[in-house]
Amino acid sequence: MKKNNLTYLESVHRDGKIWGIALCLIIFAFPVAISIVFGAVPEWEALAKGMFATVPMYWAVGIVEIFTYIPMLGAGGTYLSFVTGNISNLKLPCAVDAMERAGVKANDEEGEIISTISIAVSSIVTTIIILIGVVLIGVIAPVINHPVLTPAFDMILPALFGGLAVVFIAKNPKLSIAPIILMLILFIFVPALNAGTVGIMVPVGVLFTVAVARIMYKRGML
């Protein structure tokens, strides 16, 4: 059994690596192909400015995200999520909920499988919905851009995390107190923290909560 387990996980890593490198090359080949087909050359000064405004922040966040999300997503889930994107607002909550309902943990093999299935299904459904939307853009755009519906889409994150919070706080009431208080204080009193910077605070929340959990566990409080 143990040998089989090892084989599955190792093969996920092997295939994940091959797919990941191949897709990375394809994604980078796209701008190159556009340049060749249309004879386009980047405007170097604007490119440098645009890169400078984007790369340092998002690479820093990206690197921290890798270490934060891998333990939560599992191997298969990680290889899929970092290519298909929309991790914190879709893939991660989807996988977390699926693992919770199935009663499995991210760091055992059942969790690995449930997380992979959940994220793969979510990616496929997302691709199909966006495809339908793009094909029918003339019909769909006026409906989903209708001013009446705009607030609903603006509030997707509070609506998503309200439900998820109930499940996890109910499960770990003692452990929830410290991180929630910390985050409330930070977000209410630090003006720079908002929708654009919440991604940076996820790893902070995770590291802080794991540290608090470790202390409480060592003292026999959990």
Partner 1 sequence: MEFSVNHPIIFIMVGLIILTVLGQSVYFLVRALKRAKELGIKKEVINKTIGSSAVFTIAPAVSILVGVIALSKSLGIALPWLRLSIIGSITYETVAANNALTALGIPAGTQITDPDVFITVLWVMTVGIAAGLILVPFLTKKVQSGISKIGMKDKKWGEIFNNAMFLGMISAFLGYVFCDVTLVFKGDFSGLIPVFVMAVSAIAMAICGGLSTKFKIRWLTDYALPISLISGMASAIPLTNWLG
Give the footprint of partner 1 on residues 7-26 (CB under 8 A).
Answer: 8, 11-13, 15-17, 19-24, 26
Q: How far is the CB of 173 from partner 1 (least distance, A)?
A: 10
**Closest listed residue to residue 78, CA positions, set 3, 8, 19:** 19
Residues ≥6 apart with Cβ < 8 Å to 185:
none
Task: Work out which of 125, 139, 219, 220 binds partner 1, going by CB under 8 A.
Answer: 125
Residue 38 as a binder of partner 1 (CB under 8 A): the answer is yes
By CB under 8 A, residue 127 contacts partner 1:
yes
Please state the closest distance from residue 108 (CB atom) to partner 1, in A. Answer: 7
How far apart CA 99 and CA 97 sit, in angstroms, is 6
Is 188 a binding residue for partner 1 by CB under 8 A? The answer is yes
Q: How far is the CB of 205 from partner 1 (least distance, A)?
A: 4
Q: Does 41 bind partner 1 (CB under 8 A)?
A: yes
* Residue 146 makes contact with partner 1 by CB under 8 A: no
Question: How many residues make contact with partner 1 (CB under 8 A)?
Answer: 158
Q: Which amino acid is at 171?
A: K
Residue 194 DSSP class: S
Q: Is 153 in the site for partner 1 (CB under 8 A)?
A: yes
Q: What is the C-alpha to C-alpha distance for residues 116 and 95, in angstroms, rounded to an integer? A: 8
- CB atoms inside a 10 Å sphere around CB 176: 16
What's the CA angle centered on 33, arms 28 and 58, to 5 degrees? 30
Helix axes 109-135, 137-144, angle to 10 degrees: 110
Q: Does position 167 bind partner 1 by CB under 8 A? A: yes
Considering the complex, what minimum distance in angstroms separates the CB of residue 21 from partner 1? Answer: 5
List C-alpha distances in Å: 172 to 15, 212, 219: 36, 13, 16
Restricted to residues 95-114, the positions that interact with partner 1 (CB under 8 A) are 96-98, 101-102, 105-110, 112-114
